[in-house]
Chains A and B, each alone.
Chain A
């Protein structure tokens, strides 16, 4: 019996299911069921009867369609109500919520103006974010709206304190405004002065230097005991007064090269003035640059980091602390020593003003100067500059004393300097040991990105350093990559949802399609199966795998483990996009066949074979042991995975659009219904990613931040990492201990 061309049967079915029209899928389902019954009844009729009679009997046995229609409505009322509520829930809540979640996730990436861009420019150190698109994408994918709103919550002064005013051509405007908000604040004043020092260090009598001197007039009132301001004045006066020329001399006997330094005097009067300020500075009880205090203030405004982006922000703030003073100190240290030596050589006395000291004072200034800078050492480079000042100054003093025949004094200077610089020299020597080389190799293999950047310079840690510290940094990298992938997936799924919406409209309004696309509503179990197999399952599996070390790749840094990471993420991306689309299509095809609606051909054999191979390849390669994935084999396997995924994504997109836009009109109902049915499922996938996966990863991020002891204790201890802080403290204390043992610890003579 050809049911579709049987008008009597169709009319019967139309009447029997008329009351269910409000739920098209349900109506068609019941219709198909009744039709199946009629067919079975017809088959039981006597074969001697003509088809019309067989059908008439079957219909008669079934009963009056009007009666059945009422009963069917009554029996399905509850179901129709529930299904209607679900549709309303999706249309009114789930889909809009999914769009909001997608927007919240994508906004930092999409927004190239306003707070997001400011945030990136300020926090990443990218003065031009567009110059580093990959970095911008990574940062923005891991930035939440909360991070950006935190920026907005700052007061104008707080923002100036933390970030300055990079868009302002006048670089002194921000530090000036901060100081003027609290004119007695020594920290803000010091920042203002140092910012003025950053300007090209012009000779005096130029606008830049004049402005600086004007600012320095406030020093005696604001911070009278601080040596900093006399040192800065001396440094600026040194411009065009004198400079140090270095010449490398090779010893022809042993081939060793040494550097010889020579002072070139351009303006002796100005040099004398500079030196008098320098020596006056050394009379102050302390040298305070307040870098640590200012950084502490900045970080207090930001609050403890709750995301990696915030921590990167804080690290970049710390890293961007400018230390123009160090160049001044270094130059003053060298010039004073060389000038003192020259004066001694020429036995010229009385060159300086009445209150100044003898050439010996200049020669020995390194001793007091080194102590002042050591006491104020803020970070590792401070310590190293202090050590250089002590080393250079002591060598020049020793040389000058030997040249003057004062051998015993020269020896005393040498011993004293050796005592002071011992700790730093020992540490320096340790950087060249095989143990340090092993440490560097270990960092290459197992350190996270930030640790790889920050730790090599500090040398091998103490034996009690727990290698577990490195694991946290590594895990953080994995978490951030997963978070980035989830963010991008949200974007892709949103795009798929929007395209599905547009295509459903296209088929709705296109000519030749006589019925509204049907919204198929899979049962909860079906829905769970679709999402579980394509989105939830792979995502949960990959997040779970990260905790299972043999298959997670987390034993190694992401640089080493990248093949496994790439394969995992390819599997996730392929499953969540193409896998979801294919699974959904299969579901709709199955449903349409049950409902007796025109359906295009299902996926052909070649497609199914290729899909099985691709999935199989991705699953198997993701479970391979580290030994196979760590070398060149891993690169090849990962390359294949990436190529396969890209092929599926691009091919899938092109095919879907081609089919969706140019399919035959008789299949318009199918394509429109597929698109319409896909929308709520994509919405659920987006919600899962945005409200479950991403927050879970953020929780992991916070947990790792709290445990990542290699990345903590910044301003108050002066370093970026606990290791660097430890090394800085150790070296600084070593220098000061060397001073304590020195017979001339508090004297300039």
Chain B
């Protein structure tokens, strides 16, 4: 079942999701899109074109780096991987998300934080 999730919600999670995926292994843009769709069971359907501005922004902030694969060894792809700064940022964002999610869940779902 696909749920239309508000773009506003999605925007707020793009960065931690990208960082999380790249923490597992280096990936190229299309692969990131595919991973997100597969793992969320199509619940998150990012606009593909908007991924790249995010990736470039994160690269500019030093949270990820990019390397082109050797075009002589198959199709050329630009792989991204997490930097140390990115790993630290991911850790912080995951913590923030956890607290945010708990707080919102208490309010919206009446879940007892304890």
Interface set of A (CB-CB < 8 Å, partner B): 16, 30, 32-34, 36-37, 39-41, 61-65, 67-68, 71-72, 74-76, 78-79, 590, 593-594
**A-B CB proximity, top 10 nearest:** A63-B49, A75-B53, A71-B53, A40-B30, A68-B49, A75-B56, A75-B57, A62-B49, A594-B68, A593-B71
Can you offer 5 A-B residue contacts whose CB atoms are under 8 A? A32-B76, A32-B78, A75-B53, A76-B56, A593-B71
Give the docked Cα–Cα distance between A723 and B68 (Å).
Answer: 66
CB closest residue in chain A, given B69:
A594
A260 to B56, CA, bound (A): 100
Task: Report Cα–Cα, A40/B49, bound state, in Å.
Answer: 13
CB-based contact B48/A63 at 8 Å? yes
Max chain A CB contacts within 10 Å: which of B28, B54, B56, B68? B56
Are the CB atoms of B56 and A37 closer together than 8 Å? no
* CA A490 to CA B11, docked complex, whole Å: 54
Is B113 part of the contact surface with A, judged by Cβ < 8 Å?
no
10 A-B pairs besides A36-B78, A68-B50, A79-B56 with CB distance below 8 A are A30-B56, A34-B49, A37-B28, A40-B30, A40-B77, A63-B47, A63-B48, A72-B56, A79-B59, A594-B71
Given known A36-B78, A594-B68, contact A74–B30 (CB-CB < 8 A): no
A72-B53 in contact given A36-B78, A78-B60, A79-B60 (Cβ < 8 Å): yes
B2 CB, min distance to chain A CBs, angstroms? 15
CA distance A34 to B30 in the complex (A): 9
By beta carbon, the residue of chain A nearest B70 is A590
The docked-state distance in angstroms from the alpha carbon of A61 to that of B30 is: 11
In angstroms, Cα B94 to Cα A596, docked, is 39
Q: B48 and A37: CB pair below 8 A?
A: yes
What distance in Å separates the Cβ of A19 from its nearest Cβ neighbour in chain B? 11
Which residue of B57, B71, B72, B78 contacts A33 across the interface (Cβ within 8 Å)?
A: B78
Please, which residue of chain B has its CB at the minimum distance from the CB of A68? B49
Judge whether B60 and A76 touch: CB under 8 Å: yes
A16 x B53 contact (CB < 8 A) = no
Chain B residues touching A, majority SS? helix
Complex CA gap A41/B47 in Å reads 13
Please tell me if B75 contacts chain A, counting CB pairs below 8 Å: yes
Q: Which residues of A contact B48 (CB under 8 A)?
A: 37, 41, 61-63
Instruction: Take A33-B29, A39-B75, A41-B30 as given contacts and tell me if A74 and B53 are in contact as well, using a CB distance cutoff of 8 Å.
Output: yes
Whether the Cβ atoms of A75 and B30 lie closer than 8 Å is no
CA–CA, A72 to B29, complex, Å?
14
Q: Which residues of A contact B28 (CB under 8 A)?
A: 36-37, 40
Within 8 Å CB of A79, what residues of B? 56, 59-60
A36 touches B60 (CB 8 A): no
Contact A36 B50 (CB under 8 A): no
B97 within 8 A of A: no
B residues with a Cβ closer than 8 A to A are 28-30, 47-50, 52-54, 56-57, 59-60, 68, 70-72, 75-78
Q: Determine how close the nearest CB of chain B comes to the CB of A594; give it in whole angstroms.
A: 5
Whether A34 and B52, one on each chain, are in contact in the complex, defined by CB atoms closer than 8 angstroms, is yes
B30 proximity list for chain A (CB < 8 A): 36-37, 40-41
Cα separation A314 to B71 with both chains bound (whole Å): 63
> Which A residues lie within 8 Å of B78 (CB)?
32-33, 36
Chain B residues with CB under 8 Å of A594's CB are 68, 71, 76
In the assembled complex, which residues on chain A have CB atoms less than 8 Å from the CB atom of B47? Answer: 62-63
A71: chain B residues within 8 A (beta carbon):
49-50, 52-53
Separation of A596 and B67 alpha carbons in the complex (Å): 16
Q: Are A37's CB and B29's CB within 8 A?
A: yes
Q: Closest A-chain residue to B68, C-beta based?
A: A594
Chain A residue, CB-CB nearest to B54: A75
CA distance A63 to B78 in the complex (A): 20
- Inside 8 A of A32's CB, which chain B residues have their CB? 76, 78
A341, B36: Cα distance in complex, Å: 121
Task: Give bound CA distance, A64 to B47, whole Å.
Answer: 10
State A590–B68 Cα separation when bound (angstroms): 10
| Contact residues in A for B57 (Cβ distance below 8 Å) | 75
- Whether A30 touches B71, Cβ cut-off 8 Å, given contacts A78-B60, A79-B60, is no
Q: Which residues of A contact B60 (CB under 8 A)?
A: 75-76, 78-79
Can you name the residue of chain B whose Cβ is closest to the Cβ of A74? Answer: B53
Give B45's nearest chain A residue, CB to CB.
Answer: A61
Establish whether residues A36 and B53, one from each chain, have CB atoms under 8 Å apart when the complex forms.
no
- Nearest-Cβ distance from residue A581 to partner chain B, whole angstroms: 22
Cα-based distance from A172 to B26 in the complex (angstroms)? 84
Least distance between B67 CB and chain A CB atoms (Å) = 10
A68 to B53, CA, bound (A): 8
Give the complex CA separation of A88 and B105 in angstroms.
Answer: 52
Q: Which residues of A contact B68 (CB under 8 A)?
A: 594
- Bound together, the chains give a CA A179 to CA B54 distance in angstroms of 84
Give A68 Cβ to nearest chain B Cβ, in Å.
Answer: 4
Picked from B52, B54, B72, B75, the residue with its CB within 8 Å of the CB of A30 is B52
Least CB distance from B69 to A in Å reads 9
Q: Which A residues are in CB contact (< 8 Å) with B49?
A: 16, 34, 62-65, 67-68, 71
Q: What is the CB-to-nearest-CB distance from A3 to chain B, in angstroms, rounded to a whole number?
A: 11
With the chains together, A67 CA to B50 CA distance in Å? 9
B42 CB, nearest partner CB in chain A, Å: 13
B93 vs chain A, min Cβ distance (A): 18
B52-A33 in contact (CB<8A): yes
Kindly report which residue of chain A lies nearest to residue B59, judged by CB atoms: A79
Q: Which of B56, B59, B75 contacts A36 (CB 8 A)?
A: B75
> Which residue in chain B gives the minimum CB-CB distance to A70?
B53
Q: In the complex, what residue of chain B is closest to A523 when comparing beta carbons?
A: B65
A16–B50 alpha-carbon span in the complex (Å): 11
User: Whole-angstrom distance between the alpha carbons of A108 and B66 in the complex?
Assistant: 47
Distance in Å: Cβ of A535 to nearest Cβ of chain B: 24
Compute how far the CA of A67 lies from the CA of B71 in the bound complex, rounded to whole angstroms: 29
The smallest beta-carbon distance between B52 and chain A, in angstroms, is: 7
